Structure 1
Amino acid sequence: MVEALATPAPAAAPRAANATLTDWVAVAAGSLGALLATLDISITNSALPQIQGQIGASGTEGTWISTGYLMSEIVMIPLAAWLTRVFGLRRFLMGTAIMFTVFSMYCGLSTSLMAMVVGRIGQGFAGGAMIPTAQTIIRTRLPAHQMSVGMAVFGLTVLLGPLMGPVVGGWLTENASWRWCFFVNVPVSVALVALLWSGLKPEKSDLEQFIKADWTGILGLALGLSTLTVVLEEGQRERWFDSTLIIGLSLLSALGFFLVALGQFTARKPIVRLGLLRNPRYASVIFIVSTVGAAIYGISYLLPQFLGNIAGYNAQQAGSIMLLSGLPAFLLMPVLPKLLQSADSRWLVSLGLVMFAASCFMDVNLTSDSVGHDFYASQLVRGFAQILAMMPLNSASMAAVATHEAGDAAGLYNMARNLGGSIGLALMGVLIDRRQSYHDAMIRESLTANSTLGQDHMAAQTQGFLAQTGDQALAQLKAIAQLSASVARQASVMTFNECFYLLGIALVVCIPLALLLQKPAASPVR
């Protein structure tokens, strides 16, 4: 009995050792690569008019400069985990970083639309590898008690990249040349290669995995995602299924996804682990991140359109308003890792979704007189919301799967975010086109020749133009043209309000799913 009482209690399991300097170098390399890839998604947006003018592309053709990048990036993202296993992480990432540099220089030197699109496709393919592998590095190189720091760094780069892209691109275009939107990648890529060389250990290639790969799924993935991206990007401009091009691409996309599904049953190791979606916690993450991705990309389209077309802002002025939502990231940076480590992911994501939806509802009462300062409050709230929603989602996606599934989970997670963004942009395009036409028609129907208010307005405008021109007929024509422009402007404002409202509703729908998320396991206390 005495011996039993004297037996010491088992010691608590020691906390895992802190990450080494080499581990943090690897994390820095992964985050820098992700920043480079996400920045280049939108860096050409501000420079498109200048690029199109110098390479001889029309406005419609110029959209392929962005579409080509997105199309190839979204194909590469889910392939990254497999290619990492085939070539080894360091060799694969260094190869894609060099490839990204070469294609960036090729874009900067391009003199034709075809050359530019080829360069952007190559850029997107290389950049798509850098986003999910950054998450994989963090998941495999950092101990549990430091995981939140790494995920915070990764999440900030992914959020800030698309926001900084138009601002950086606009500044370079106005102060140097649009070609520097691509040449600026060269020194950054050199630094990235150096970090990868020193931070990652060399690994042996496994060419057997290349030979025995799920080639049915790989073919289907490349075919399905690339054609789906083009359908979503070009569908509205081509009038959807009135176009034989869209019908053909849709059929190819359906065939591609059929091959991916076939690979789930025939391949020993499918290229996309759709079986991960049987995990309700991980499936909840995927659905939420798709919706949040649609909201982020949708607002990144709506806000510059409103500021440019309604408020009359140039690209650089609109970019400064967009960048306001990045300010909370810097304010929260000192406390974010601790917050992610100590707070429950479910409540953080729920709060983020509530704030994100609220920021959308704050923009549903816009008028034709609204300008940049009317978006200050909503942009700041949106910035806090994106941090609180996206950061825990990054961690929750990794916490929901085993360590050996991290690469596949990261690829599916990032693919879902980008695909959600493409779907969001497509839906915004359809909604704007349809609702603007509807509101324009309704306002015109309400304007009749018997309206006293309308008659007084037209008379006043005609007198004003008559004083300028001295020609009664010309003055009446100018008054009618101004009224028509005013109707179109009001219809556009009403449509923008509806778009923000629907994005808010979509985010509210996701709030119950946040309760299914799993908080990353806390590390044992020392």
Structure 2
Amino acid sequence: MSDAEPAPAPEERADAAAWLAVAAGTLGALMATLDISIVNSSLPTIQGEIGASGTEGTWIATAYLVAEIIIIPLSGWLERLFGLRTFLLLAAGLFTLFSMLCGVSTTLTMMIIGRVGQGFTGGALIPTAMTIIATRLPRSQQPIGNALFGATALLGPVAGPVLGGWLTENLSWHYAFFINLPVGAALITLLLVAMPHKRSNLALIAEADWLGIIGLAMGLGGLTVVLEEGEREQWFSSSTIIWLTIVSAVGFMLLAAGQFFARRPVIRLALLRNRQFGSVVVMVTVVGMVIYGTSYAIPQFLSAIAGYNSLQAGQIVMLSGAPVILMMPFTPWLIRTVDIRLSVAFGLTVLAFSAWLETDLTSVSDGSSFVDSQLLRGVGTVFCMMFLNQAAIRSVPAEQASDAAGLYNAARNLGGSFALAGIAVIQDQRLWLHSRRIEETLSANAINVQDYVAGQVQALGGQGRAMRMIEGTIQMQALTMTYSDLFWILTVGIILVSPLALFLRPLPKGAPMAAGH
């Protein structure tokens, strides 16, 4: 009598409540990632209504990212402190309230306060979505949840400008924030229905890495302000910049002290000594610069040079989302079968090529000049981000996966913050430089210059109008050259970090996607 083979164990399946919880987490992450860039294509309109200059307007985007960078590493501790459902309900409710504050803002100060509040609360919604996937779905179904989350994380920053642009053109820029009210209400309802209540553990307050928390806020906050305001304040000739630099330095020292004295540091910087994880952090920082920097710079170029409205500019940015949507169903298979080093190297090469395509912009360039580069950028982003996320989680022991996920997500947003601050600095410097160089080529005594001026005087009916016309032409050409410089810098930055892909170790063949939380 032959031994009967044991029947295979039935595959575990998630129930409806678990999928509702995943839907809640994904909706929260989508809302948070959308609001990173939803103002980008509407910034010229918002700046005009609240009385902010172009350089000051970058704060509307940067304030959100900086606040997110600070809160993301804290999310794991806050989950344990309040319980996951209570923490998410607080985050969703406050995010909605801060969105309303942004929507009714009449000054730059009000807007920045609202955006900082959005960043603190919205940033908590991103890593907790991965926690829900990891804890509520069986391992066999986690790739589906991870694909849903990956789609929101990649689509949010590129869908934001087109949604914000449509609302601005058809309703008002205020509705780019008011739209969070019904979404927030739906999210809170899903959380109440699908998430089980867990008791708070307020005793963890005494165990927190307060040195690291305070140092993180002082260090990153001070550094970002220095980068944003340094050019306008003439750098270290300003006492404000000097004091902010000191605040930032003290903050980073406190963060370093927390690594030695805290039982569980807010950011476990020791993970950076891991060659693979350190390489991933450097690469994802640069990729973050590309994602958030281009989603900010392209709408600004199209508005200033091509005369596009908010919706038209947002539609161009959204093009990079098309490859994300098409490729997302195949990413679990790609991760199981393609060597991670080849994938990341290929993705970085495509990103570098997409940025290089935008270095030949002219004053007559329009949205069509960005079609090919945006589609390629979407392809490169999928190959980079999906694989780098897996590499970050698998490069550390399982008990440190949440620390790695927090540091990974903070690095991505930090890259975006540096990109936005850097754009403001470079734009001021290069615009001045290119304007002077163009003026140097126009000798007032040259016959062709005099003939051109005379023709403009006759056509416009006055010398004053003619000179303003010439000045406007110089500024437009200089601004175009400045944007080309920005894309050159991104191209070179990507090329410099590309060799780090060689430090990555292949993922286990046939292994399911890792869930970072």
Q: Report the TM-score when normalising by structure 2.
A: 0.89
Flag the 1:22–1:332 CA change in 2: closer, same or farther, 3 A.
same
Q: Does 1:462 align with 2:490?
A: no
Q: How does 1:248-263 map to 2 (within 5 A)?
A: 248-263=243-258
**1:318-376 CA-partner distances (Å, limit 9, x unpaired):** 11111111111122233233223322222211111010001111112222222211211
Q: Distance in 1 between matches of 2:106 and 2:448?
A: 54
Q: From the CA coordinates, give the structure whose radius of gyration is larger.
A: 1
Are the equivalent residues in 1 in contact too, given 2:212–2:254 (CA < 8 A)? Answer: yes
What is the match of residue 428 of structure 1? 423
Q: Secondary structure at the match of 1:370?
A: coil
1:480: Cα distance to partner? 4.1
What is the match of residue 125 of structure 2? 130
Flag the 1:42–1:33 CA change in 2: closer, same or farther, 3 A.
same
**1:13-48 CA-partner distances (Å, limit 9, x unpaired):** 989745554443333222211111111122234444
Unaligned 5+ runs, structure 2? 513-517
Q: How does 1:313-352 map to 2 (within 5 A)?
A: 313-352=308-347
Aligned residues: 512
Q: Distance in 2 between matches of 1:60 and 1:497?
A: 18
Q: Distance in 1 between matches of 2:388 and 2:343?
A: 9
Q: 2:497 aligns with which of 510, 513, 516?
A: 510
What is the match of residue 87 of structure 1? 82
Q: Distance in 1 between matches of 2:194 and 2:341?
A: 33
Q: Distance in 2 between matches of 1:65 and 1:431?
A: 18
Q: 1:486 aligns with which of 473, 483, 501?
A: 473
Q: 1:167 aligns with which of 162, 165, 174?
A: 162
1:429: Cα distance to partner? 2.7
Flag the 1:492–1:182 CA change in 2: closer, same or farther, 3 A.
closer
Q: Secondary structure at the match of 2:355?
A: helix
The amino acid across from 1:489 in the alignment is M
Q: Does 1:219 align with 2:237?
A: no
What is the match of residue 3 of structure 1? none
What is the match of residue 482 of structure 2? 495
Q: Distance in 1 between matches of 2:359 and 2:222?
A: 34
Flag the 1:54–1:467 CA change in 2: closer, same or farther, 3 A.
closer
Q: Distance in 2 between matches of 1:336 and 1:524?
A: 13
Q: 2:373 aligns with which of 369, 378, 382?
A: 378
1:482: Cα distance to partner? 3.3
Q: Distance in 2 between matches of 1:162 and 1:88?
A: 29
Q: Distance in 1 between matches of 2:418 and 2:400?
A: 27
What is the match of residue 399 of structure 1? 394
What is the match of residue 441 of structure 2? 446
Q: How does 1:121-160 map to 2 (within 5 A)?
A: 121-160=116-155
Are the equivalent residues in 2 in contact too, given 1:31–1:153 (CA < 8 A)? Answer: yes
Q: Distance in 2 between matches of 1:350 and 1:248?
A: 41
Unaligned 5+ runs, structure 1? 1-5, 470-474
Q: 1:191 aligns with which of 165, 186, 191?
A: 186
Provide the aligned C-alpha RMSD in A.
3.0
Bigger CA drift: 271-280 or 62-71? 62-71
- Percentage of matched positions with identical amino acids: 51
The amino acid across from 2:365 in the alignment is S
Q: Report the TM-score when normalising by structure 1.
A: 0.88
Q: Distance in 1 between matches of 2:58 and 2:366?
A: 27
**1:424-444 CA-partner distances (Å, limit 9, x unpaired):** 222233333223322322232
